[in-house]
Amino acid sequence: MSSEIFDYLEQQIAGTGPYVDIVDKVPGITVDESYRVMLGFARHRIAKGDRLIGYKAAYTSKAMQKANGMDEPIIGCLMRSGLWDEAETIRLKPGIHTIVEPEIAVLLSRDLAGPGLSTFDVLGAVEGVMPAIEIADWSVGGKTRSRQMGIAIHKSTGGIVVGGPICSLKGIDLRTEGAVIRLNGEPRGSGTGVEALGDPLAVVAAIANLLGRFDARLEAGMVIMTGSLVQAIPVAPGDDIHVEFTRLGSVRARFA
Partner 1 sequence: MSDLVEWAEGQIFGGAPFEDVTSRVPRFTDVDAYRLRAELVRRRVSTGDVLAGYKVAGSSRAIRAEEHVEGPIVGCVMRSRVWPESEPISIDAPKMAIEAEIGVLMKRDLAGPGVTLLDACGAVDCVFPAFEILSFAGGPRPSHQARILASNFRGGFILGGPPAPVHDTDLRLEGMALSINGEPRGSATGVEVLGNPLNALPLIANTLADCGEALKAGMIVMTGSLLANTPVRPGDRVEASFSRLGRIAARFA
Q: Which residues contact partner 1 (rule: CB under 8 A)?
A: 62, 173, 175-180, 187, 190-195, 198, 229, 244-247
Asked if the bond preceding 66 is cis, omega within 30° of 0, the reply is: no
Nearest to 72 by CA among 35, 37, 41, 47: 35
| DSSP result, 225-250 | EEEESS--EEE-TT-EEEEEESSS-E
CB of 138 to partner 1, least distance (A): 25
Q: Which residues of 26-40 are buried (b: 16+ CB within 10 A; e: fewer)?
A: beebeeeebbbbbbb
Closest CB to partner 1 among 58 and 216?
Answer: 58
Closest CB to partner 1 among 119 and 190?
Answer: 190
Q: Inter-axis angle of helices 3-14 and 31-47, to 10 degrees? A: 90
CB of 109 to partner 1, least distance (A): 24
Residue 203 amino acid letter: V
Closest CB to partner 1 among 63 and 123?
Answer: 63
Closest CB to partner 1 among 104 and 108?
Answer: 104
Q: Which residues of 244-255 are buried (b: 16+ CB within 10 A; e: fewer)?
A: bbeebbbbbbbb
CB of 248 to partner 1, least distance (A): 10
User: Going by C-beta distance under 8 Å and a sequence separation of 6 or more, which residues neighbour residue 230?
Assistant: 101, 102, 179, 181, 188, 189, 190, 191, 195
Closest CB to partner 1 among 146 and 190?
Answer: 190
CB of 229 to partner 1, least distance (A): 7
Cα 83 versus chain centre, distance: 11
CB of 214 to partner 1, least distance (A): 29
- Residue pair 42/56 in contact (Cβ under 8 Å)? The answer is no
Closest CB to partner 1 among 77 and 104?
Answer: 104
